Structure 1
Amino acid sequence: MKQLRFRNLLRRHVVGRHTEVWHHRSFRLPLSAVGGLTGFEPRRADLVLWFLADAWAIEEGMLERPNRVRYRDLARVHTQEYLESLSQPRTLARIFAADETELQVDEVLKTIRFACGATVQAARSRLVHGGIALNLFGGFHHAAPDSAGGFCAVNDIAVATAVLRNEGFRGRIVVIDVDAHPPDGLAACFRGDSSVWVGSISGESWGPLEGVDETVLPRGSEDRTYLCALDRMLSRMPRADFAFVIAGGDVVAGDRLGKLALTLEGARRRDRMVLEALGRVPSVWTAGGGYGRESWKVLAGTGLMLTCRSSTAIPPSYDPMRARYGWVSTKLSRERLEGAEELSAKDLEEALGLRPPEQPRLLGLYTAEGIEYALSHFGIIPHIRRLGFEQVHAAIDVVDMGDRVRVMGNALGKQHVLVECMLERRRVVERDVLYVHWLALCNPRARFSEKRPQLPGQEVPGLGLAREIGWALARIARRLGLEGVAYRPAWYHTAYSGRYHFVFADSRRQGRFEAMQRDLRDIPLIEVTRAAAEGRLRNHGERCTWEAEEMVFWLFDSPLDEKIVAEERANARFTIVASECDKHVP
């Protein structure tokens, strides 16, 4: 990462001074289930911003904060009836594949308006000053004047174009759509407008799109096929006075909704080709879609290309949230966390056990106010508020299993426990770790449905904050001088959700877990976890039960024996037996 930083710093001084990056803290959609249901990473804009800052690809002067788009500007493209429908939970739930009971209309509209406002303001800025702008949340190409879908509530590019036209710009505009899906909304918005050229390369056809220079590639098209098609499309692009680019992250292999199979390197080459084809034409680049674990890296790669002209790969193990939480932790006040600026005689007596503490401290260190302070700076409490909870606060007490911390908030006329965690210090494989006896993340505003089924052990749907809480626990462990965070997953899905950072303490158990993921990867998670809970798992035809053993997120070197892991993984072969008969499901 150090080499990447210094290379970016040098390159940015040459090319980055004409590049703006637009971001707002509200770019994260306040929908707790959107990631699990569709693969869309609601944190993507934040992850990319954190990476670009950590990689020295941007500095403070390049970062811009948008205002909300004005309704009268939205009305230049969208019908009044449609705009009024956006105030209805049912409309937004359909667009964002969400349950309307958990949808906070005002907060979702805030995200939409800030994202659209960023595209509008970036277009104004680049038209005046030239150069390039990157909006980390935009490119809503499925929104038509009177309808929308596919995470696109308003068409920010069409709105920005209408604003520029209203302010006197008469030049030719090109829209280069290199998202994996067809720009049906753009076609509807620009129908009959010969001053706008739309070029698109996608992985599936939704029927003819009037006015769009569309290339539909076969399913699974890889780098070479895609880039050759892109070169041909760019050769047909007319001379432009202004450009919009939708640099979708759903073009890479493994995307849940995209049908193409580019590599991350191929996506970066895509961006370079578009950048070179545009030359000195002022342009606004937008994020487009992305429904997989790697989608943030596609957008981050676009950011590196635009700010630094860099083709350097992002380190495979790099996690922006880990870097961000580490940086935030260095800024937290010890006095605010621990609740005392100076050691008093009373504090000394409590430390020596001569008097009971006036207020319990988590692991003998953090006060409830300190927990609130840290969770606020990590962005967890602000996001909980956006989910519709008020008077969010923390409480600490001691229970049989250890120290308990709860985060509570008010909604629907009552107080709810939203986060509950029971912790203690413990030794696992001869190492001191932070042991999590119990962790519950609950969103009582949400409900289970066919799209969001109830998993074993769940009483209410989750908050969508497991990743944030996990990193917060890791920071606590590190501050206490511990070597990891451990828990015992009672269900397959709780182990599966931690698979990228946690490993089983036992090497053979880890090997079998990796074999399960390999063999059952094409079966929905809900089916696998139910089969494991119901005793329908088979290893080489022999009945096996779910082994709830310790998993650990090692903060330093892992003690796993990789040779044993590989041997056990190779020797295992898992199947599921259907409940109604003894038939194996491969």
Structure 2
Amino acid sequence: MGTAVFFGDELARYGFGGSHPFGTDRIYAFWSRLQAEKISNIVVEQPEIATEEAVLSFHDRDYVELVKMASKRCESVPLDRGDTPSFRGIFEATLYVVGSTLAALHMVMKGADRIGRKVENAFVPIAGLHHARRDSAGGFCVFNDVGVAVIQARKKYGIKRIAYVDIDAHHGDGVFYEFVGDPLLFFADIHEDGRYLYPGTGSADETGLGEAAGTKMNIPLLPEAGDKEFFDVFSKVETFIDSSKPELIFLNCGADSLAGDPITDLRYSAQAHAHAAKALRRIAEKHCAGRLIAVGGGGYNRTNIGSAWTEVVRVLAA
């Protein structure tokens, strides 16, 4: 069985100009490192574009229309409080992010890619836009591709129990709060404490609402926490996700939790990402026929992007 890895210039379109940390070069930093490692059992997939209908299964129509309008204008229109500017073509660029995550979903559910090559799991580097809410952008994220994919997994494939694990340095608030009352979305997020880092959310006492109480796990770490702290708390995540008996697993493997990122303060090595991917792959093989989709998330040190994401792919393809 192979690992589908999505790569193409269409995914590079999602990025912001000037000195913005989320630049269009991020995917190439990953791809250069991956090519140098010569990992086998990878099938390279072209990005796919999502339909507007799919995006509307998660996002509000008024917000989608705002993004479309901003995408057509020459001047930049802030889509949130200023971190996420628009640019000409941002609507289509974001549709490629969502579409590639949905294509990964289709492949892992089918067990094969579009030309019949066997696929067990997948990695989409420019994806995991976990700050986008149904009605707004946030933290460099325009459309929430995983949010759309969760809805589509249930609508198209009848999947009920879905696990989402996030090891990006920032709390995945756009996933957490939009599914905070969903008892079949099992959420686990290890992140830098919100007292020190955007978006300021994800305290340990936020465990789900109503009938979803206990289906969410937030683990904030203090700035400068490293591999030891990560390994210590990830054992709790592993137990939590295993006990949820998921039918599908998403992993947001943001590389901004590695030492040396310019906008965060955690100090992991790439072995943290390898550790998480290995544990979740075991759980996926145990409960859901290996169905695991990893998305790149954040990361603004290009060397770290290459090393962390390549380690994830190495584990998934082993």
* TM-score using structure 2 length: 0.82
Residue in 1 that maps onto 2:212: none
Residue in 1 that maps onto 2:77: 90
Spell out, residue by residue over 1:175-221, the C-alpha distance to the aligned partner (whole angstroms, 9 max, x if none).
Answer: 01111111110023213221111111001222355623101111111
Residue in 2 that maps onto 1:248: 254
Spell out, residue by residue over 1:379-417, the C-alpha distance to the aligned partner (whole angstroms, 9 max, x if none).
Answer: xxxxxxxxxxxxxxxxxxxxxxxxxxxxxxxxxxxxxxx
How is 1:491-570 mapped onto 2 (pairs within 5 angstroms)?
Answer: none
The residue type equivalent to 2:107 in the other structure is S
Task: Please state how far the C-alpha of 1:94 moved relative to its aligned partner.
Answer: 5.3
Spell out, residue by residue over 1:56-111, the C-alpha distance to the aligned partner (whole angstroms, 9 max, x if none).
Answer: 2257x71111321111111111101111111324134856544x6xx32x2x2222
Spell out, residue by residue over 1:419-445, the C-alpha distance to the aligned partner (whole angstroms, 9 max, x if none).
Answer: xxxxxxxxxxxxxxxxxxxxxxxxxxx
1:42 aligns with 2:29: no
Task: Please state how far the C-alpha of 1:286 moved relative to its aligned partner.
Answer: 0.3
- Closer/same/farther in 2, CA of residues 41 and 268 from structure 1, 3 Å limit: farther
Contact 1:252 1:267 in 2 (8 A): no
Query: Greater strand percent: which structure?
Result: 1
Residue in 1 that maps onto 2:10: 26
Equivalent of residue 133 in structure 1, options 122, 127, 146: 122
Spell out, residue by residue over 1:114-133, the C-alpha distance to the aligned partner (whole angstroms, 9 max, x if none).
Answer: 11101111111101216111
User: For 2:149, what is the secondary structure of its paired residue?
Assistant: helix
The residue type equivalent to 1:27 in the other structure is L
- Closer/same/farther in 2, CA of residues 231 and 174 from structure 1, 3 Å limit: same
User: For 1:32, what is the secondary structure of its paired residue?
Assistant: coil
User: For 1:142, what is the secondary structure of its paired residue?
Assistant: coil
After TM superposition, which residue ranges in structure 1, 4 or more long, deviate above 4 angstroms? 92-98
Residue in 1 that maps onto 2:136: 147
How is 1:302-451 mapped onto 2 (pairs within 5 angstroms)?
Answer: 302-308=312-318
Contact 1:248 1:290 in 2 (8 A): yes
Contact 1:20 1:134 in 2 (8 A): yes
How is 1:456-467 mapped onto 2 (pairs within 5 angstroms)?
Answer: none
Contact 2:255 2:297 in 1 (8 A): yes
Task: Please state how far the C-alpha of 1:52 moved relative to its aligned partner.
Answer: 2.3
Distance 1:70 1:97 in 2: 22
Equivalent of residue 67 in structure 1, options 34, 48, 52: 48
Contact 1:145 1:188 in 2 (8 A): no
User: For 2:255, what is the secondary structure of its paired residue?
Assistant: coil
- Closer/same/farther in 2, CA of residues 307 and 168 from structure 1, 3 Å limit: closer
Distance 1:203 1:80 in 2: 32
- Closer/same/farther in 2, CA of residues 153 and 135 from structure 1, 3 Å limit: same
Task: Please state how far the C-alpha of 1:257 moved relative to its aligned partner.
Answer: 2.1
The residue type equivalent to 1:271 in the other structure is A
Residue in 1 that maps onto 2:222: 218
Equivalent of residue 308 in structure 2, options 298, 304, 312: 298
User: For 1:301, what is the secondary structure of its paired residue?
Assistant: helix
Spell out, residue by residue over 1:110-160, the C-alpha distance to the aligned partner (whole angstroms, 9 max, x if none).
Answer: 221111101111111101216111111111111111112111111111101
Contact 1:241 1:281 in 2 (8 A): no
User: For 2:298, what is the secondary structure of its paired residue?
Assistant: coil
1:262 aligns with 2:268: yes
1:289 aligns with 2:298: yes
Task: Please state how far the C-alpha of 1:244 moved relative to its aligned partner.
Answer: 0.7
Equivalent of residue 204 in structure 1, options 182, 186, 193: 193
Contact 2:166 2:251 in 1 (8 A): yes
**Larger RCO (alpha carbons 8 Å, 6+ apart):** 2
- Closer/same/farther in 2, CA of residues 19 and 32 from structure 1, 3 Å limit: same
1:122 aligns with 2:104: yes
- Closer/same/farther in 2, CA of residues 77 and 30 from structure 1, 3 Å limit: closer
Q: Which has the larger radius of gyration?
A: 1
Distance 1:179 1:31 in 2: 19
Contact 2:29 2:305 in 1 (8 A): no
Residue in 1 that maps onto 2:155: 166
Spell out, residue by residue over 1:4-49, the C-alpha distance to the aligned partner (whole angstroms, 9 max, x if none).
Answer: xxxxxxxxxxxxx33111122122235331xx343x3532222322
Task: Please state how far the C-alpha of 1:272 moved relative to its aligned partner.
Answer: 2.4
Distance 1:210 1:90 in 2: 35
User: For 2:78, what is the secondary structure of its paired residue?
Assistant: helix
- Closer/same/farther in 2, CA of residues 226 and 78 from structure 1, 3 Å limit: same
User: For 2:107, what is the secondary structure of its paired residue?
Assistant: helix
Contact 1:52 1:58 in 2 (8 A): no
Residue in 2 that maps onto 1:349: none
- Closer/same/farther in 2, CA of residues 192 and 266 from structure 1, 3 Å limit: closer
Residue in 2 that maps onto 1:189: 178
Q: What percentage of residue pairs aligned between the two structures are identical?
A: 21
Task: Please state how far the C-alpha of 1:278 moved relative to its aligned partner.
Answer: 3.0
User: For 1:167, what is the secondary structure of its paired residue?
Assistant: helix
* TM-score using structure 1 length: 0.46
